[in-house]
Each structure stands twice: as structure tokens, then as C-alpha cells.
Chains A and B, each alone.
Chain A
Amino acid sequence: MNDEELLKNEKVGKVLSPHPLSFMKYQSLCIFLIIWGILVGWFVYFSDWQNTFTDNFWLVLTFWGIGLLLAGVVASLVTVRWSIFLLYLGVFASGSTIVFWLGLQESVGLFASFYTVVFSIIGFLIVEWYRRSHKYIISNQRITFKGGILTKEERTLRYDKITDISAKQGIVGQIFGFGTIIPISQSGFGLGADESFAGGGIQLGEKKAKFLGFFGGGREVQTPRTRSYFELHGVYPYKEVKKLVESMVQDSVVTPYQQEQVSFQKEQVDIQKQMRDLLKMQSESKDEQQEPENEKDDDS
């Protein structure tokens, strides 16, 4: 953070970035691609079934594609995110297009293997780039969150505006000592919602007259969730940072005793103000009284 960005009397306590393994959910997608790329190469050229694959372009392409798409479907169902399936579909579609475009039908096994591995390496680099774009600055007055590759996002949160702190540490986080801390603001920033929906359909009539009815119900559960650049995502050392943030929030919270003190001081100030006003009024009335007397003296 530049000195220009600092507020008056602001001191930076910690500047943090996410741990290299904190984006494991994205990295694992790339790890699968590497493993699958190597496996395809091994199956086509070195396994006991290599004769089956030899000179069988469609079989190799189908084998490669089915592996990718099947993994995509499974991962998407598990994580409830169809973007994973679309990503793997994209890898397969783009790879197949290149094969037909460049006429690589004869060496499709080698190409598929190489392409998948290269794609996953690029994926790793993008994830790393994305990770490095994150920056969390913990100062004595606020937390500043920065992130984003192309569009730079920024969030500033004052400690007195934090109502709740949610923290989570996965198994990898527990092993390597990092975790995610989500400060939730008074406006509810930092909260997401888990939605579940159940539906059912009914069809009446067998041949001609058909009536289709659909009914369903949904439920929404509030859960601490936000973008990685709006939370302290995968920060290390987790316990230390959590303690720091909690103590900062605690320090900015006004205790009941302090509240009593403040209200008492406010009363005092009000009384003083009233007294000042009264004195002012008195002095004004005196002036007003003196003025006619002065005028009389002048006349005389």
C-alpha cells in the first residue's frame, strides 16, 4: 500500500497474500488434466492395449474425450458447479478442432497427451497469477482487500463496521497452517446464500388430453461466502491473523462501561452548551438594556 493511500494516523500491521495451496480446488482441476494427459499417452503408446489404439483415430479421440467429460460431470455434480464440466468440454472441443484443422489424425494420441498437459500447465499459471493478484492489508484502522487480474477489485472495511467474523480451515489448510477469514459487515457484505430447490411434475391424460403441472419449493440458508478478494482467503499463519483481526475488532467495539462514560460526557457537554447559551442570552439582554440607556444619554 502506498503512503498516499494511507489515512491520517494509519499504520500498516500486516500485508498478506493467499497461501500457494489455498486455491487447491482450481489447482486440482489442473492436476487431473496432467494425470489424464499422461495416462492417455501411456494407454495409447505403452500399455498392453496399444495395438487396439494403433491406427484407430476415433477410438483414441473418444477415449480422451470420455475421460475428460466423465471427470467433468463427476466434479460438477460433487461441487454443484457446471463450470468445471464446461472447462473440460472446452479442452476437448478445442483439442479436437486443432486435430482436424492441422490434420493430426495420425498422431492424435501424442497430441491429446501433450495438449492436455500443456493446457494444465497454462491453467496452473493462471491460478498462480490470480493468487498473486490478491493482497490483504491489515492496518490499525481498517482491512483493505485487493484482487483481480483484469478488473481490479478493492474493498475497505473499518473494524467498527464488522459485526461478525467467520473463519474456516480445510484439511489442507490444517496441514499447512492457512485458513480463510470472512469479516461480515453491518450491511451483510460477506454473506451468501445456499439455495436448495425441490420440484416435481405431474402429467394427466394418456393419449390426447394432457395436463402438465409443476410444483416445487425452495429454501435459502444464509452462509458466510464471498469472493476471494473480498475475504482474507487462505491467509498464513491462520491462527495469528485470526487473533489479530479479532483483537482489532474487539478494540474498536465500545464496551457498556465506555458507553456509560460517553453518555455521561454527552450530558455534561449538553449542560455546558445550555449554560453557554444562557450566558449568551444574558449577555445579549444586558447589551440590549445598555443600548437604550446609552441612546438616552446621547440624547440628553
Chain B
Amino acid sequence: MEGSPIDIVIFAPLAPILGVLLFWFIQLAFIESEKYFLDKIRPRHEPLCRFTNFLGVLFQTICHALGYTVTKSGISDFYISVNYGRVAPKKEKKGIFEWISNVFLFIGPFFIPACLLLLFLFFLMPGGFEITTPAQLIDWKYTFAGQINTFGTSLYAFSQGFFSFLFNIDLLHPAHFGFMFLMIFLGMGMRPSYIGEKKQEKVDMIYDLRNIWHLIAHKPLYLILLFLMSYVFFYISLFLDQNWYVALFSIFGWLSIISITSILIANMILLLIKTTDEIPSYWKLIPYITIPVSYILIRLLFFYFPVDFTNSASLLATILCTGLVTFLLLKYKADKFKTRIHIKLFKKKDKDEKDE
């Protein structure tokens, strides 16, 4: 085993924690982008925004209830509505138990919905999941660099399997379709805060971070305790030469990757909604109809003329068809692209009249 003792004893355990934090911040940024889209479409799609709010509140309330269950506080009251959720414990426990419940409340919504998707993936992904340490890292895997490399490799291996599954997803397979459906729905509600009735009530990333910071600053001792536990877990892994420590944090990384992808897909849907809002009357429904119709037609085409990568080619063709149809509708049914040409024509006409 190479690497300086300070590196192994002090810095190495920090590596996967920092990795998870990085992914979590990326997740927060994506959540902000989703909130931006939701805020933009809110005037015309109030029910959709209420629905996403409900999902957000639902996850948050479930996480809070889970926190009380884990700490054995019990649940005396569970109330949920579109704008508000409330969970009351049976026994008011203070100290570390209260802190753990709050950790579940504030951090749970980022990871718990993704946990559901990971569970589905476990049954759907043909290769399963693997956490491996690259051969070249075996000698120095318990150093900071080794830990971060192992963490990265694990994430890479997972991402490869996950994205190859996503790009080859068969939307005519009920389980795959259900997974995609769930991914979009969870992606829309995978946020701890919600968009309020009025714009000024909108709570953002700063609000979430402030809550979490308050949680840390209020009881720093518990955070130190958590760090100490992590270090102890790392040392146990080190002495047993089983890299469980990275494996544990890799799961958080996977959850972040799933969350980010879900939010990205949800954002694509929200972007489509925002774009089609500019198309007048019933024409705006055409892009939504194009999605299933084009997919089924292309799958039928590939059924009679088989080619390689049928599923991914069908997905790509569907996305292209939908994009093209939306663009054409914007061009011919909305004034989006017409205006510039018309202004030019008017200017030319004006100029000709003046010249005459």
C-alpha cells in the first residue's frame, strides 16, 4: 500500500464525500433550471405546476415521516395537500433523533425518489450494478486520489450501464414504458421546495441551502459525529481491505446521476410545453401526437425491415420528428419566424414608395 499516512488517515475518507457533494450541487443547479421552466409556463399550465408541487410536497412529507419512523418517534398525524404537507411525531424526541429527522426532511427529497428509480433499474438493467476498483489503483486505492478514482470509476461504470439502458429503452415494453413514465413524473417533483401561488413566494436553491446550513450550524456536534462515523467506517474498510466505503458513497453518486437525468428529461418535456404554447389553437397538440405516432410507425418500419440498434434509432427518429414538426408549426402557424421576413418586406416596400 503506497501513499503517505496523512493522506490515508485524514484526506482519503474525504474524497467520496466531496464527490457526492459535487454531484449534489449539480443536481441543485438542474432543479433550479426546472423551477425556471415551471415558473415560465405557470400562467398557462397552473394544474401542471400544482401537480409538480404536489409531487414535491409528497416526497418531502414521506421523507419526513420516514425520518420519524427511523428514529422511532412514531407518526401521530400525516396530512398532505397540493401546497402543504405536515407530519407530526407521536413522541417528541430531542437531540440527535430530531436532527436525523430533519436530515431526512431536508436531504431526503433529493435522494429518496431516485432510490425508487434505482430499485426499478435493478430489475430492468440486464447487467446489474458493479463497483470495481481499477487494476492500476489496487496498490494505492486507500489514498485520496485512489478513493476519488475508484468513486469516479464506479460512477462511470454505472453511467455506462444506465445510459445504454436509457438509449436502448423499448417504449413498447410495459416495464420500460412504466420506468420512463415514472422517471418523468419523479423528475418533475424531485425538489424539496415548491413554487408558491404567487411569484414572490417562490423558494429557490438558496432557500434549500439555507435550511440545510441552518441544520448544520444549529447542531455542529452531530455533523462532526457523522464525519467521525464515516472515518471509522473508512478505517474498517481499510483494515478488512474491502472498499465498502466508496461503495456506499457511490450509491449516493448513482442516485444523483439518476436524479439529474430525470430532471433533464422532465426539463425537455417542460421545454416542449413552453414552445408549443406559442403555437395557436389545436395545432399545438400536433407535437404531442407526433411522439407516440412517429415512434410506433418507426418501430413498425423496423419490424418489417430489421436493422441494428432498432430501439435507439426509433428514439432518435421520434425526437427528430417531434422537433421538426414543432419547428414547422412555429414557422407556419406562429409568427415566430415570419416577423423578420415581413419586416424586411415592409421596409423594402416603404423604401420603394419613398423613392417613387
Contacts and interface: CB of A to CB of B under 8 A. Distances in A.
Interface residues of A, number: 9
A38 B47 CA distance: 28
Say what secondary structure dominates the interface of chain A.
Answer: helix
Interface string B57-91: 00000000000000000000000011000000000
Contact of B46 (A38, A39, A42, A177): A177
A171 B82 contact: yes
A150 interface: no
A175 interface: yes
Interface string B169-182: 00011100000000
A171 B54 contact: yes
Interface string B156-200: 000000000000000011100000000000000000000000000
Contact of B174 (A38, A171, A176): A38
A175 B51 contact: yes
B42 interface: no
B47 A175 contact: yes
Contacts of B173: 42
A175 B174 contact: no
A22 B173 CA distance: 31
A46 interface: yes
A176 B46 CA distance: 8
A175 B188 CA distance: 15
Interface residues of B, number: 10
B41 to A, nearest CB: 15
A174 interface: yes
Contacts of A42: 172-174
Please report whether the interface of chain B is mostly helix, strand, loop or mixed according to DSSP.
Answer: helix
A174 B174 contact: no
A177 B172 contact: no
A177 B47 contact: yes
B172 A175 contact: no
Contacts of A46: 172
B56 to A, nearest CB: 13
A41 to B, nearest CB: 10
B172 A174 contact: no
Most chain A CB neighbours (cut-off 10 Å) among B46, B172, B173, B174: B174
A174 B54 contact: yes
A39 B172 CA distance: 10
Interface string A214-225: 000000000000
B274 interface: no
Contacts of B284: none
Interface hub of A38, A39, A46, A174 (most chain B Cβ within 10 A): A174
Nearest to A171: B54
Contacts of A177: 46-47
Interface of B: 46-47, 50-51, 54, 81-82, 172-174
Interface of A: 38-39, 42, 46, 171, 174-177
Given A171-B54, A175-B51, 16 more contacts: A38-B174, A39-B174, A42-B174, A46-B172, A171-B81, A171-B82, A174-B54, A174-B81, A174-B82, A175-B47, A175-B54, A175-B82, A176-B47, A176-B50, A177-B46, A177-B47
10 contacts: A39-B174, A42-B173, A171-B82, A174-B50, A174-B82, A175-B47, A175-B50, A175-B82, A176-B47, A177-B47
Sorted nearest first, the 5 A-B pairs with minimum C-beta distance are A174-B82, A175-B50, A176-B47, A175-B51, A175-B47
